[in-house]
């Protein structure tokens, strides 16, 4: 295998896709991004978005004489990421709230664009996972590679992204969690703050979301939910000029007050999630990312509310304990893309393991066949000798010599 190898990576989001071409040194794990681009996906035209991604990869395919070695895709969900379920693998599942993306085949057009043609053409290694599981693996590996990142070795990590929606990726004993589907922690219920009459975002009213989107993490703390809550609060305050406007999520960025009531509700919902993760998985590290977490002071509010809700059940957590346990992403806004690159690297390593597993049995079979041939030849030799002795005895020559 050439080193370094050329890989393609995709981070797929509801408003944009980030695509990149990178070189990865499989021995040192060093990654160098050569080209990257951001592609609009807010128009809800999957074919257009995927074709623009494919075009990007076709344009950079000739950087290496051997072409792309692997493709890693970190994609919004719900997503079919179990390769054993071929009818769903690489596709957006029908339960996604993004109607135009339901059932869309993500992998086929991307793989076709990345694979080489002609005599040198070969299939590339491919790995796809959610846009939260992949970053969770990237964060976990970064911590494992840096002994100073935490005072104690960890075996589990949760990555939570808070933006248009809320997603949760889980790594337990070094492996991302898959099962009946994949973690969807953004839809777990929360205990609202006392006196809160906001039940959740309007998206949940006619959806198939668990709990019908009422009092869940996503319905209370996503950017959509916070914008709707702000609109409700400003309406109650009688701000007619604002009340007449059709507020969108940009109003959150315009909100200068870091201690505004909406951030208390956001922190409470996220603290509920942290407590749930801790009690269900006993997770050793919780990484919070996404656009909403850019708000100054929000992560500290989450930590303090988490301690309040735990009520001492996990012991006396100091501020230092909380700061080490609940952290920001080490990759910042690039965590999703780094997750996709990690998937590409893992795809190459897993393919090499499969090839090795195939070569070993073949070699073993050859050894067995060789050994069997020797024993077979030895057996034939003995048989021939025995027959010769018998024939010699019958000829009478043996008796004449007595």
Q: pLDDT tens across 223-243, in order?
A: 999 999 998 888 754 443 333
pLDDT at 219: 93
Measured CA distances, 65 to 28, 81, 156, 345 (Å): 22, 30, 39, 19
Give percent above pLDDT 70 in the chain. Answer: 80
pLDDT(401) > 60? no
Confidence check: pLDDT of 191 > 80: yes
Those residues whose C-beta lies under 8 Å from the C-beta of residue 4, and which sit 6 or more positions away, are 23, 24, 25, 26, 30, 32
**pLDDT at position 166, please?**
92
pLDDT tens digit string along 6-25?
A: 999 999 988 899 999 999 98
pLDDT of the residue at 119: 42
Beta-sheet pairing, 16-24 with 5-12: antiparallel
Separation between Cα atoms, residue 23 and residue 67, nearest integer Å: 11
What's the CA angle centered on 349, arms 358 and 64, to 5 degrees? 110
Residue with tokens 């990142």: 149
Per the CB < 8 A criterion, the answer to whether 286 and 326 are in contact is yes
- CATH 3.30.420.40 maps onto the chain at 5-130+335-357, 134-329
| Separation between Cα atoms, residue 174 and residue 401, nearest integer Å | 80
Residue 255 makes CB contacts below 8 A (sequence gap 6+) with: 230, 262
Higher pLDDT, 247 or 194: 194
Peptide bond into 4 cis (omega under 30): yes
Query: Model confidence at 384, in pLDDT bands (50, 70, 90)?
Result: low
**Residues 190-218, mean pLDDT to the nearest whole number:** 85
User: What would the CATH number be for the domain defined by 134-329?
Assistant: 3.30.420.40
* pLDDT exceeds 90 at position 81: no
Domain 5-130+335-357 has CATH 3.30.420.40: yes
Output the average pLDDT for the chain: 85
Query: Does residue 21 contact residue 57 with C-beta atoms inside 8 Å?
Result: yes
E strand or H helix at 349, and its extent?
helix 335-394
What whole-number distance in Å separates Cα of residue 112 and Cα of residue 57? 10
| Helix or strand (DSSP H, E) at 5 | strand 5-12
The pLDDT of 373-393, averaged and rounded, is: 65
Please enumerate in sequence order all residues whose Cβ is within 8 A of that of 333, keeping only pairs 6 or more positions apart, or say none. Answer: none
Q: What is the mean pLDDT of residues 274-290?
A: 95
Contact between 17 and 336 (Cβ < 8 Å)? no
Any idea which of 139-153, 300-314, 361-375 has the lowest mean pLDDT?
361-375
């Amino acid at each position: 295998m050439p080193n370094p190898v050329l890989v393609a990576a995709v981070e797929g989001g509801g408003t944009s896709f980030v695509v990149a071409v990178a070189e990865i040194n499989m021995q040192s794990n060093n990654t160098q991004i050569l080209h990257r681009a951001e592609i609009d996906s807010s128009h809800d035209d999957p074919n257009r978005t995927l074709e623009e991604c494919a075009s990007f990869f076709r344009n950079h395919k000739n950087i290496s004489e051997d072409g792309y070695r692997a493709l890693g895709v970190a994609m919004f969900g719900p997503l079919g990421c179990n390769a054993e379920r071929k009818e769903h693998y690489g596709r957006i599942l029908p339960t996604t709230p993004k109607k135009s993306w339901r059932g869309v085949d993500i992998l086929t057009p991307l793989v076709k664009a990345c694979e080489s043609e002609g005599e040198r053409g070969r299939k590339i290694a491919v790995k796809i996972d959610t846009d939260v599981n992949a970053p969770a693996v990237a964060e976990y590996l970064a911590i494992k590679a840096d002994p100073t990142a935490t005072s104690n070795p960890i075996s589990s990590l949760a990555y939570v992204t808070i933006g248009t929606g809320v997603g949760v990726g889980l790594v337990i004993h070094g492996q991302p969690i898959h099962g009946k589907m994949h973690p969807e922690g953004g839809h777990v219920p929360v205990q609202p703050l006392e006196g809160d009459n906001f039940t959740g975002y309007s998206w949940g009213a006619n959806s198939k979301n668990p709990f019908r989107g009422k009092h869940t993490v996503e319905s209370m703390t996503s950017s959509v939910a916070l914008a709707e809550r702000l609109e409700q609060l400003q309406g109650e305050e009688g701000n007619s000029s604002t009340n007449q406007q059709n507020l969108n999520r940009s109003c959150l960025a315009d909100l200068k007050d870091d201690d505004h009531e909406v951030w208390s509700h956001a922190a409470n919902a996220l603290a509920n999630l942290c407590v749930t993760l801790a009690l269900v998985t006993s997770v050793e590290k919780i990484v919070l990312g996404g656009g909403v977490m850019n708000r100054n002071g929000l992560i500290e509010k989450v930590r303090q509310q988490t301690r309040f809700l735990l009520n001492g059940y996990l012991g006396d957590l100091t501020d230092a304990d909380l700061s080490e346990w609940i952290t920001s992403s080490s990759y910042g806004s690039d965590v999703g893309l780094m997750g996709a690159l990690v998937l590409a690297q893992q795809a190459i390593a897993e393919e090499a393991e499969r090839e090795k597993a195939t070569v070993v049995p073949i070699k073993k079979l050859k050894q067995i066949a060789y050994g069997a041939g020797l024993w077979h030849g030895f057996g034939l030799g003995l048989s021939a000798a025995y027959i010769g002795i018998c024939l010699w005895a019958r000829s009478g020559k043996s008796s004449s010599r007595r």
